[in-house]
Structure 1
Amino acid sequence: MSVTETASPLSASAALDEHNATFRRVIWRIIPCVTLIWFLAWVDRVNVGFAKLTMMNDLHWSDAIYGAGAGIFFIGYFLFEVPSNMLLQKIGARKTIMRITIGWGVVCIAMAWVQTPGQFYLLRFLMGAFEAGLQPGVILYLTYWLPAHRRGKALGVFVSASAVSLVVGSPLAAYIMEMSQGAAGMQGWQWLFIIEGIPSVLMGLVAFFILTDLPSKAKWLSDSEKAHIAAEMADEDRKLGPREHSFAASLKSGKIWVLIAVFFCIIAGNATLVYYGPSLVKEVGFTDIKTLGWIMGGIYACGWGGMVLNGWLSDRSKETRLHTAVAAAIGATGLLLAAYFVGEKNAAGVIFSLALSSAGTMGAIPIFWQLPGQYLSGSAIAIGLAVINSVANLSGYFSPQLLGYLKSTTGRYAQGLTGIALVELMATVLIVLFISPARTASGSGAKG
């Protein structure tokens, strides 16, 4: 039943206003909570990039050890993401999100006492295992509450928390490390893990009481508000038409493999920015941790700007395919330029290149997540989102290791950056060749 059909005897305009009010209430209840959780997830996931600046010397580790530890996070991510989304369907979102958030928060705190490479690898693996399922789980969770034409902007706000966390987290990490250095006989990097892990544990408890699994179970919604949601979701199902509901069948079509490959290439660039961005800036002469933190905050602010601008352009043109492809190409171009400028020790060039890459790479991510819904539905999208994210995020395991290995063996970052830039550029090629323009238009069902 459409909005206008449910409106009688009220005018269509009044009925639409009622629906809008209902969904505003839903958004203000859910989105701030899950966005803050995603913000904390990224703070705790990538603070190791700043801890590296002093932790490496304290523990006498090489870039190869750091690269392996930074990347092994994604092995845990890969192994546990699909089971996490399946568990979400069984026990509900609030219990799943609580388990995820408290788990990684405890692991982040434990990182303060790591002493050996083996301990480092184990805790990074566990952090990935606990965080697995959060992003695809929230994306799936939002499909229970919001139709696609209302979900795009909400999803953009949620995903952009990763960029905001880098903007805020970079200078924050620098200040925590400097101000806490030597307190209680501990190093600044140790306090960084403790101070940034505690809010995640607390937020996991908060989420349990704020989130509701399904609209039908929401005591904070009236019966008429529940009816508004049910009507729009049913209306969307009719308009979308036939989509693949079987995940096993979707594997045969080949489209899911293309989507995995595209996201794999984008994540290669993103992982390089978040795990080696501070080291690249330090390489060209910025050794003061606070100054470096502000520089990285500015670079990641460009990533946030790329997300917002690309999302706005995509919504305005009702197109997702080219907006993802062009953004990935911009990200790859930035990494190629960074490879050149870091070799020349050109500080301004490196900062500009990383800012450009950040805007393009991060700008591609929220738009990409509009693509799977064009091909999958039902159980296929529940499992498919997790599979796409988990397999593609293995790129986050390989790219830091590659960069760390080449830096350790050649003494330079240029070769690794060039290789990863070419990988990210492949995302653009794959989209242009294998993603159909007709299926990504908003008229096909889901607004991009």
Structure 2
Amino acid sequence: MNPSTHEAGALDGNSVYRRITLHLIPFIFICYLFNYLDRVNVGFAKLQMLDALKFSETVYGLGAGIFFIGYVLCGLPSNLALTRFGPRRWIGVMMIAWGTLSTCLLFVTTPTQFYALRLLTGAAEAGFFPGIVLYLSQWYPSHRRGRIMALFMSAIPVSGLLGGPFSGWILNHFAVGQGGLAAWQWMFLIQGLPTVVLGLLAFMLLCDKVSHARWLSPQERQLVASEIAADERARPQVEKTSIGAILTLPFIWVLGFIYFCIQAGVYAINFWLPSIIKGLGFSDALVIGWISAIPYLLAGVFMVLVGRSADLRNERRWHLVVPMLMGAGGLIIAANFAGTPAIAILGLTIATMGALTGLPMFWPLPTAFLSASVAAGGLALINSIGQMAGFLSPYIVGWIKDQTGSTDVALYSLAGLTVVGAIVALRVSRNTATATEAAEVA
């Protein structure tokens, strides 16, 4: 053993990864917070935008969902571009592009313009989330990813926690239409421009790989590199790495279906929570914002606790399945007690806690199973399959509400889909995953 290896082995791994976390996660967290806020703030804009522009619920649902058509179409090539140009450059470019397009939503006057901007915004940010998942897998070995993914993805509930009251305040504060803009237009402007600034900062604050991290000592970089290399050797190896070969791996499609089921509930909550709360009898935008913050606050706490538990117990399946079943149960409660606001909000809270926690608990599965040769394409494909729910879920909810005057049937349907996803997830284990990959290689 050479001296440098011996010295690296003497390092405290926990302190090294703590330094990495303190250096990377706060900035990535803020970026993802604005990523999610820019994606779903149309749910609050809807409270005023529909009346101002004379849009129907179906037009809103289609506009909210068409974002994910661009997202799905560009997810795989965008993630491959990230591996070619490097995370620092590509993440910065994506953020500047989608921040600009999201801001431009303030100029929308027709359904066609609404659809076009949402489509382009989805295409612009398509590679961000799978790129970050891939990026983190190059810094953390698999046994440390549960809590890291929970910390990173807690930006989702935090965006709801802060974004709900903030969006409600904007809609109230700018209600008189300062500067010739309506309140919903101010919301897109105020929440879109910071993303452009963060994109510029990404060029300075991120580094492409562990070996470029000058804020780590050579011994610390060696320790991380050796653990990542050992992690890679333990994964099933797939020799064929073309896009066509990745598309033929059944395990990727199974994981994509599970992720689709999780996201169907998540996006129903994100895009329709303000409207559902308004339908319970609350009319003031700021009050709706504060009430919508409650589910996200509890979801953020629950997400971090479950992520920590999953790592400590080195158990993934039940830490994924139980939150998914919670999400389904919460949607059923919310639909069944729509006439009782307190119980309905409790149901929405349980649904939000379960659905959002299912997201970070899902991603350690594919990152543990996919080798580096297929990770970029495989993670992007899984994410794209799941994000198709972002198109179908809001549109179906809007269509059902136009037809029935209620969201109850849609919530029951999404709850049923989540249960199916949980049953499939329950069957996923390292043994079945390895067997599936090995069969494809053979």
Task: Provide TM-score, normalisation by structure 1.
Answer: 0.91
Q: Post-superposition shift, 1:114?
A: 0.6
Closer, same or farther: CA 356–79 of 1 in aligned 2, 3 Å: same
1:11-30 equivalences in 2 (<5 Å): 15-17=10-12, 19-30=13-24
Q: Post-superposition shift, 1:419?
A: 1.1
Structure 1 equivalent of residue 232 of structure 2: 237
Structure 2 equivalent of residue 445 of structure 1: none
Identity level (%): 40
Q: Post-superposition shift, 1:186?
A: 1.6
Closer, same or farther: CA 79–21 of 1 in aligned 2, 3 Å: same
Structure 2 equivalent of residue 105 of structure 1: 99
Structure 1 equivalent of residue 141 of structure 2: 147
Let me know the Cα RMSD of the aligned residues: 2.1
Q: Post-superposition shift, 1:214?
A: 1.4
Candidates 59, 63, 66, aligned match of 2:60: 66
CA contact (8 A) 1:98 1:205 kept: yes
1:160 aligns with 2:154: yes
Q: How many equivalent residue pairs?
A: 431
1:175-186 equivalences in 2 (<5 Å): 175-181=169-175, 182-186=177-181
Q: Post-superposition shift, 1:362?
A: 0.7
CA distance in 2 between counterparts of 1:297 and 1:47 reads 13
CA distance in 1 between counterparts of 2:364 and 2:375 reads 12
1:339-387 per-position Cα deviation (integer Å, ceiling 9, x unaligned): 2122xx2111210110010011111110100111333111211111110
CA contact (8 A) 2:75 2:126 kept: yes
Structure 1 equivalent of residue 359 of structure 2: 365
CA distance in 2 between counterparts of 1:326 and 1:305 reads 16
Structure 2 equivalent of residue 414 of structure 1: 408
Candidates 189, 192, 204, aligned match of 2:187: 192
CA contact (8 A) 2:235 2:369 kept: no
CA distance in 2 between counterparts of 1:158 and 1:64 reads 33
Candidates 311, 314, 317, aligned match of 2:310: 314
Closer, same or farther: CA 157–425 of 1 in aligned 2, 3 Å: same
Structure 2 equivalent of residue 338 of structure 1: 334
1:139-179 per-position Cα deviation (integer Å, ceiling 9, x unaligned): 11112222223333222211111111111100010001111
Closer, same or farther: CA 316–439 of 1 in aligned 2, 3 Å: farther
1:117 aligns with 2:111: yes
Structure 2 equivalent of residue 381 of structure 1: 375
Q: Post-superposition shift, 1:210?
A: 0.5
Candidates 185, 194, 197, aligned match of 1:202: 197
CA distance in 2 between counterparts of 1:268 and 1:290 reads 27
Q: What letter matches 2:294 in structure 1?
A: G
Q: Post-superposition shift, 1:28?
A: 1.9
Candidates 255, 258, 272, aligned match of 1:276: 272
CA distance in 2 between counterparts of 1:242 and 1:122 reads 41
Closer, same or farther: CA 225–217 of 1 in aligned 2, 3 Å: same
CA contact (8 A) 1:243 1:375 kept: no
Q: Post-superposition shift, 1:22?
A: 3.2
Structure 2 equivalent of residue 325 of structure 1: 321
Closer, same or farther: CA 171–22 of 1 in aligned 2, 3 Å: same
Q: Post-superposition shift, 1:241?
A: 4.7
Most deviating of 124-133 and 62-71 = 124-133
Q: Post-superposition shift, 1:307?
A: 1.1
Closer, same or farther: CA 249–113 of 1 in aligned 2, 3 Å: closer
Q: What letter matches 2:309 in structure 1?
A: L
CA distance in 2 between counterparts of 1:196 and 1:209 reads 22
CA contact (8 A) 2:146 2:308 kept: no
Q: What letter matches 2:6 in structure 1?
A: A
Q: Post-superposition shift, 1:120?
A: 0.5
CA distance in 2 between counterparts of 1:69 and 1:412 reads 19
Q: Post-superposition shift, 1:305?
A: 2.5
Task: Provide TM-score, normalisation by structure 2.
Answer: 0.93
CA distance in 1 between counterparts of 2:196 and 2:368 reads 36
Q: What letter matches 1:353 in structure 2?
A: G
Q: What letter matches 1:296 in structure 2?
A: S
In the alignment, structure 2 segments of 5+ residues that lack a partner are 435-442
CA distance in 2 between counterparts of 1:437 and 1:322 reads 13
